[in-house]
Amino acid sequence: MKDRSASLEPHQARKRFGQHFLQDTMIIERIVSSLNLKRQDCLLEIGPGLGALTYRLLGRVDQLLAIEVDRDLAGQLRQNSPAYGTLRLTEGNALKVDYTLLAAGRPLRIVGNLPYNISTPLLFHLLHQAATIQDMTFMLQKEVVDRLTASPGSKNYGRLSVMAQYYCQTDWLFDVASDCFKPAPKVMSAVIRLLPRPFTEHCLQPHALAEVVTQAFGQRRKTLRNALKLLIPAEAMTAMGINPAARPEELSIGQYVHLSNWWVTHSSD
């Protein structure tokens, strides 16, 4: 397939947008292959950039949605629109997009090489809209992928691990070396798939879970007794079978759900 991205004008990567453009065609094809696309899929690419991944997606779906914050890149992509009329490009900040509106009632599949400087807040923004998403396949800093897939008790297990795994099954797919990008980042990258799933633990109020988890890991070196003392008394933790002397990284997602449910039902007492 001809690489249409080569027809775009030279573009200087912009630090404020965290731009590192994927160049390795083998990695690009590996990402595309992992998606196992169907023509009717409602596919959205976040940050198409120079279009290296975009052009390989277009022939596989009836219409590709895309969001690009860099107006110069968006303009260049539009200039090439006669070559690929199935692209529906939105110029804007992915952190501010209502993805339920883009999905228009269809399960949304999302893919992208996410800017490292906004990846964590963007992931939280997407998790809050997980009900409208079928799956998400992202290139991220490997450190972030390690946190997303971490198990209780590990050094990488934290707030992002708990909240992501509450909403989604998190599957590491493969690592990507820094020399696959231009400019090359100073860190390794990895591709991950996030698959929203039915909740196995019933959380009364997800925002309460987020608050409890934030409080717990905001003071990671403290015990739960001290980190959550303003929300949940130690005796309540004990009654739930949770050791108040445990560290935040020792608890499972289900235990955090139990803590948040207790707080919801007792906060007005």
Lowest mean pLDDT among 35-39, 220-224, 248-252: 220-224
Superfamily of 4-196 according to CATH = Vaccinia Virus protein VP39 (3.40.50.150)
Q: What is the mean pLDDT of residues 136-158?
A: 96
Task: Return d(Cα 161, Cα 120) in angstroms, integer.
Answer: 11
In the chain, residues under CATH classification 3.40.50.150 are: 4-196
> What's the one-letter identity of residue 126?
L
pLDDT range class, residue 78, cuts 50, 70, 90? confident
In the chain, residues under CATH classification 1.10.8.100 are: 206-266
Look at residue 130 and tell me whether its pLDDT is greater than 60. yes
CB atoms within 10 A of CB 132: 19
Q: What value does the CA radius of gyration of the chain take, rounded to a whole number of Å?
A: 21
- For tokens 């207790």, the residue is 262
pLDDT digits (tens, 9 = 90+) for 8-50: 444 544 444 445 678 899 999 999 999 999 999 999 999 998 8
Q: What is the mean pLDDT of residues 72-92?
A: 78
Q: Please, what CATH class does the domain formed by 206-266 belong to?
A: mainly alpha
pLDDT range class, residue 220, cuts 50, 70, 90? confident
Look at residue 161 and tell me whether its pLDDT is greater than 60. yes
pTM across the whole model? 0.88
